[in-house]
Structure 1
Amino acid sequence: MSKEIFVAFATQKGGIGKTTLTVLVASYLHYVKGYNVAIVDCDAPQNSIADIRAREIKVIDESDYFKALACNHFRRIKKKAYPVIASNAVDALDDADKMMKEESVKPDIVFFDLPGTLKSEGVVMTLSQMDYIFAPISADRLVVESSLQFATLFNENLITTGVAKTKGLYLLWTMVDGREKSELYDIYEQIINEMNIPVLKTRLPDSKRFRRDLSEERKAIFRSTVFPTDSSLLKGSNIKELAEEICKIIKE
């Protein structure tokens, strides 16, 4: 890639998993696919991803097992952990620019983790500078309505007018319950298609593994900013498929 690409998982509804998706996709692309990645954590004041990174470093420092695992991991991939920059929605773009000037290895993809409401100061402005936006949705009427409203308003007011530099905004089904009837998703997608909003083919299941962070009590790793997802846990999560689909879109 000749120029870094800005990507965000964005939504108007909290609790839909955008922070988790940011970590999982970033880690897969950086540690498995070989891209150079960075994360700008703009979700102040909690800055959840920066907090995850700090807790992981603490666990590694205090554990001989994870210390050895980290040494072997970075020796094998011949690169460092990707940078995680704590910021806020107002300063995110400036902090990203500063980070890219300071990093010896320039990132191919920069992920921005933003607050879960467009009303927060700076969110719309920062979103308008994303190359690609992926909006997680679940099969809940309120979530779907909110997401469609967000996508429609963003497309009409920012993308089509040329205010935003965004090349594409895509919806992404997440928290998919295997017991739900597939017809429900077909009905929703028919409505979404009529509104000309693209939906990713990959659907992510509803699984407790998505909340599983690095821990001394558990050796198998799922959500981590330092390590790739354990292959046994990756299977069935559809994270690999999601990352590959996103790669295909942003490389076009």
Structure 2
Amino acid sequence: METTKKTLKISFSTQKGGVGKSTITCLLASVLHYRLGYNVVIMDCDYPQHSLTNMRERDKKTIMQNEYHKKTAMKQFQTINKKAYPIIKCKSENALEKASEYVDDSSVVPDVIFFDLPGTANTRGVLTTLKSMDFIFSPITADRLVVESALGFAKAFLQLPITQDENTLQSLHLFWNQVDGREKTGLYNAYQNVIEELQLKIMETKIMDSKRFRKEADDTGSYIFKSSLLAADFQLLKATKMDLFIEEFLRITQL
């Protein structure tokens, strides 16, 4: 008997700006879609900046202007024979409806839809959308305000009363991002103990900090890292431990 494939709804969500949720969403989506064979969609609900929609426009121009990127794009298309994943611009309050419409109209059922949401829970539609996710991944950095904000939100969110449309099997995972190799491990151990005391889940892999996270593909570069049209170079993923993060992500989500 044929079973209908379930599309996973996933959000990298946090209450603090600048900790890398949009960057990680883009990096992960590109590796899953262009290198690992999954079908991905991104709902760009981060109104009003819509950073991923704007990034896609910049990526298109970059590929046309740079010979290295143009050759890489052609080689990638010939290898996978697959279009770029869609980035759908929307607002938080209509993100679920728009995603559902896309799935209904699409001939290829997506394996995963990423929801890139605004960084404040009181933005209209954010909490409702988050309650419908299958998985929420929340990046944290070794900064007291960031950690306290993330832990406070995670505890409060998990204790919210169950609603009719809520996904009761939902799973929330914290993870360390922008880790500086020179920072004392004692700092992370102290935070780790607090996270365990609060009975929150945290991923084993820590993503290392790199200037490349802040640098998009441009018309001077001869490598790919942060791009919505091309998968990041494997050596760069390895240097930041993004390769291990993706493996752990796949184990958790069972994609």
| TM-score calculated relative to the size of structure 2 | 0.93
1:195 aligned to 194, 198, 219, which one?
198
Shift of 1:163: 6.2
1:92 matched to 2:95: yes
1:243 matched to 2:246: yes
What is the aligned partner in structure 2 of residue 107 from structure 1?
110
The superposition leaves residues 186-214 of structure 1 with CA deviations (integer Å, 9 ceiling, x where unpaired) of 11111110110010001011211111211
- 2:10 maps to a residue whose letter is V
1:55 aligned to 13, 38, 58, which one?
58
1:144 matched to 2:156: no
- 2:148 maps to a residue whose letter is E
1:30 aligned to 25, 30, 33, which one?
33
- 1:164 maps to a residue whose letter is E
Q: Is the alpha carbon distance of 1:250 and 1:234 closer, same or farther for their aligned partners in structure 2, counting shifts above 3 Å?
A: same
Q: Does the CA-based 8 Å contact 2:66-2:220 persist in structure 1?
A: no
Shift of 1:17: 0.5
Identity of aligned residues (%): 45
Mapping for residues 1-252 of structure 1, pairs under 5 Å: 2-158=5-161, 164-165=166-167, 167-251=170-254
The superposition leaves residues 23-43 of structure 1 with CA deviations (integer Å, 9 ceiling, x where unpaired) of 011111111221111100000
Q: Structure 1, unaligned stretches of length 5 or more?
A: none
- 2:103 maps to a residue whose letter is M
The superposition leaves residues 69-92 of structure 1 with CA deviations (integer Å, 9 ceiling, x where unpaired) of 212111101211111111111111
Shift of 1:235: 2.1
What is the SS of the residue equivalent to 2:183? coil
Q: Does the CA-based 8 Å contact 2:34-2:76 persist in structure 1?
A: no
Partners of 2:216 and 2:205 in 1: CA distance: 23
Partners of 1:68 and 1:191 in 2: CA distance: 48
What is the SS of the residue equivalent to 2:118? coil
Partners of 2:29 and 2:20 in 1: CA distance: 14
Q: Does the CA-based 8 Å contact 1:158-1:164 persist in structure 2?
A: no
What is the SS of the residue equivalent to 2:115? strand
Q: Does the CA-based 8 Å contact 2:45-2:92 persist in structure 1?
A: yes
Q: Structure 2, unaligned stretches of length 5 or more?
A: none
Partners of 1:57 and 1:119 in 2: CA distance: 34
- 2:112 maps to a residue whose letter is I
Shift of 1:249: 0.8
| TM-score calculated relative to the size of structure 1 | 0.94
What is the SS of the residue equivalent to 2:93? coil
The superposition leaves residues 92-133 of structure 1 with CA deviations (integer Å, 9 ceiling, x where unpaired) of 111111221232221101000000111111100111110000
What is the SS of the residue equivalent to 1:125? helix
Q: Does the CA-based 8 Å contact 1:27-1:224 persist in structure 2?
A: yes
C-alpha RMSD of matched pairs (Å): 1.7
Partners of 1:206 and 1:47 in 2: CA distance: 24
Partners of 1:135 and 1:58 in 2: CA distance: 31
Q: Does the CA-based 8 Å contact 2:132-2:165 persist in structure 1?
A: no
- 1:250 maps to a residue whose letter is T
